[in-house]
Amino acid sequence: MTATILDGKALAAEIRADVKARVAARIAAGKPAPGLATVLVGDNPASQSYVRSKRKASAEVGIESFGYELPATASQAEVEKLVSELNADPKVNGILVQLPLPGHLDEERVLNLISIEKDVDGFHPVNIGRLAQKGREPSFVPCTPEGCMYMIQKSVPKIEGINAVVLGRSNIVGMPVALLLVRANATVTICHSRTRNLPDVVRQADVLVAAVGKPEMVRGDWVKPGAVVIDVGINRVDDPSSPKGYRMVGDVNFDEVKEVAGVISPVPGGVGPMTIAMLLRNTLHGAELSDK
């Protein structure tokens, strides 16, 4: 058996098309275009590339983007002042502070300062706290976990009652996606570096989300036949045969696991495109919140 490949680019295109249509309808109704502010501190090439791609994607769906760049030497007070100004700016419906910040800055203080009504990354403690509580709704859900859930829902008609395993417990992916699965009434196991008999635990999963940051860690014999496997990892490994001298792989050994799983997301082209699509959807949601 060879798994069905989950095409993240195609799924993301569906979301982008929906956002674009809703933005156009919003503008036609006389409402302002949604606005996304990106804050980049320093000159990290990867961060610069991520910000460019987010601004380009915003423009393609009619979202206005505002780019703010501060030098790597910017003080805590300077970064916090900018975030406070963006909180007060009615044209800005979403604030994205590109991580990581330079080491001398307190990331938590900066993220906590973002208004929960503009927290399009979904990382504010209040939004995460609401996500973790029954009967509470966060203003925003983190983009990558939401993208994972969208892919799972496309693959599993009924999540309720299934066994889900999340490999990794980061604040950015592992914990939020586990909370989303719990909300969908899955039975969830969170695995980490201290988990005993890890392959045996993973093998119980009807749905596996791998978000541990270790190249090709999940092997074919770890996976339950027919399972849905969502690979969040993106790791650079040396590859002399590649023109760049390296290639990108996930946390799952794709060649092995695709022969066992029922559905698998590739790397690249899986979860990555979904993350930006969810950011666009969250920014539109932020504009809709401001209408109320």
pLDDT tens digits along 109-143: 999 999 999 999 999 999 999 999 999 999 999 99
Which ranges of the chain would DSSP assign to H, the alpha helix? 8-28, 45-60, 76-88, 107-113, 125-132, 143-155, 174-183, 198-202, 254-257, 271-291
User: Average of pLDDT values for 173-181?
Assistant: 97
Tokens of 219: 């092997």
Q: For residue 177, what pLDDT band results from cuts at 50, 70 and 90?
A: very high
Catalytic annotation present for 81: no
Q: Which of 98, 118, 206, 251 is catalytic?
A: 98
Does the structure show a pLDDT above 90 at 292? no
pLDDT tens digits along 228-255: 999 999 999 999 998 989 999 999 999 9
Average pLDDT, the chain: 96
pLDDT at site 79: 98
Residues 6+ apart with CB under 8 A from 93: 34, 35, 36, 118, 120, 283, 284, 286, 287, 289, 290
Say which DSSP state 130 is in: H
Residue ranges of the binding site: 168-170, 234
Q: For residue 46, what pLDDT band results from cuts at 50, 70 and 90?
A: confident
State residue 228 phi and psi, 5-degree precision: -95, 125
Domains of the chain, earliest start first: 30-115 (3.40.50.10860), 143-272 (3.40.50.720)
Catalytic annotation present for 121: yes
**Rounded to two decimals, what is the model's pTM?**
0.94
Q: Which of 56, 81, 89, 121 is catalytic?
A: 121
Tokens of 102: 């330079």
Does the structure show a pLDDT above 90 at 25? yes
pLDDT above 90 as % of the chain: 94
Percent helix, percent strand, percent coil in the chain, to nearest 5: 40, 15, 40
Contact 33, 22 (CB under 8 A): no
pLDDT at site 1: 64
Helix, strand, or coil (residue 67)? strand
pLDDT tens digits along 142-161: 999 999 999 999 999 899 99
Residue ranges of the binding site for NADP(+): 168-170, 234
Catalytic annotation present for 43: no
Q: For residue 287, what pLDDT band results from cuts at 50, 70 and 90?
A: very high
Instruction: Please name which of 130, 59, 124 lies closest in space to residue 95, comparing C-alpha atoms.
Output: 124
Distances (CA, A) of 273 to 8, 10, 24, 220: 6, 9, 22, 25
